[in-house]
Amino acid sequence: MKILVAVKRVVDHNVRIRVRADGTGVETDNVRMSMNPFCRHAVEAAMRLAEAGAATEIVVVSIGPKQSNDVILTALAMGAHRGILLEAEGRVETLTVAKLLGAVVAEEKPDLVLLGKQSVDDDSNHVGQMLAGLLGWPQATFASEIKVAGAGLEVTREVDFGRTTVQIALPAIVTADLRLNEPRNAGLPMVMKARQKPLAVRPAAEFGIDLTPRLTVERVSPPAERVAGAKVATVPELAKLIAADVAELEAL
């Protein structure tokens, strides 16, 4: 099977972001960027399918500015075979990302597209489902386990009541949750080797897809701030305060 993995470059998840004072967005200048954590799990899942002999080729694709090269290189260092960067500046909405990925799917004809369940910048949780909708393919979102089963896949998904396991036919879309696997860190030799692997760079505009956003972001504001309250010294004191709060709730 051939696997396409979509990876996104985002503000590193350890960075404490700052909202710009003028309300135009989040400060991203001189901020550490890296591969969206969920995408790392998707790349790792593809690698494990390849190592188990179930996948023959892994292609990674990213949509974003030139610098998104970095996250493609990270995926290539983890073991993917080749990369595609669709260069686009500015805000690209999830629906547009899904359409661009749809165009790549039409060219590459993968049997499986692996994505992260959500991007930790916009926290959208859209693209995998949208791509599945556009292609009319089955989807298994929020995956914590992927097994090859006959000609299809058996995927365990994390849902509100616990977990559910479904069987889907290929071609299909699977989005990775954090408990899917433990992503590998590529060693220096793999990082060096990644630079030799093919990486095609193409302008996103070349696909004839309208890149104009549908939504207007009017303002980005900081959330209400929480400040430290009181310190309690002893357990009986804390118990009294909790009991009083609970009594107040009961009274409502």
Partner 1 sequence: MTVLVLAEHDLGVLGAATARIVAAASKLGPVDLLVVAPDAAPIAEEAASIARVAKVLAISGLAHAPSDALTDLLADLANGYTHIVAAAAAVGRDVIPRLAAKLDLMPVTDVIAIHSATRFDRPIYAGNAIETVSSGQAQNLLTIRASAFRPAAGGGSAPIETLGAAPASHQTFVSDSRTESELPELSTAQIVVGGGVSFGSAEKFALVEGLARTLGAAVGATRAAVDAGYAPNDWQVGQTGKIIAPDIYIALGISGALQHLAGIQGAKKIIAVNSDPEAPIMKIADLALVGDIFEVVPALTAELQKLGLKR
Ligand X SMILES: Cc1cc2nc3c(=O)[nH]c(=O)nc-3n(C[C@H](O)[C@H](O)[C@H](O)COP(=O)(O)OP(=O)(O)OC[C@H]3O[C@@H](n4cnc5c(N)ncnc54)[C@H](O)[C@@H]3O)c2cc1C
| Distance from C-alpha of 97 to C-alpha of 57, rounded to nearest angstrom | 22
CB 3 within 8 A of CB 59: yes
Write the CA distances from 185 to 15, 41, 44, integer angstroms. Answer: 20, 11, 10
Q: State in angstroms the smallest separation of the CB of 44 from ligand X.
A: 14
Of 2, 179, 193, 197, the one binding partner 1 by CB under 8 A: 179
Backbone angles phi and psi of 246, in degrees to 5: -65, -40
Write the CA distances from 25 to 14, 28, 45, integer angstroms. Answer: 18, 9, 33
By CB under 6 A, tell whether 6 contacts ligand AMP: yes
Q: Toward ligand AMP, which CB reaches closer, 159 or 238? A: 159
Q: State in angstroms the smallest separation of the CB of 193 from partner 1.
A: 31
* Tokens representing residue 25 in the block: 């967005």
Binding mask 122-161 for partner 1 (x = CB under 8 A): xxxxxxxxxxxxx---xxxxx-x---------x---xxxx
By CB under 8 A, tell whether 166 contacts partner 1: yes
Q: State in angstroms the smallest separation of the CB of 116 from ligand AMP.
A: 2
Q: Which of residues 22-51 bind ligand X (CB under 6 A)?
A: 37
Report which of 53, 68, 40, 70 is spatially closest to residue 1, judged by C-alpha positions: 53
Q: Which of residues 32-91 bind ligand AMP (CB under 6 A)?
A: 36, 38-39, 42, 62-64
Report which of 105, 50, 104, 39 is spatially closest to residue 80, judged by C-alpha positions: 50
By CB under 8 A, tell whether 31 contacts partner 1: no
Q: State in angstroms the smallest separation of the CB of 147 from ligand X.
A: 24
Cβ within 8 Å of residue 242, ≥6 positions away: none
Q: Which residues would be at the binding site for ligand AMP (CB under 6 A)?
A: 6-8, 36, 38-39, 42, 62-64, 92, 94, 97, 115-116, 118-119, 122, 124-128
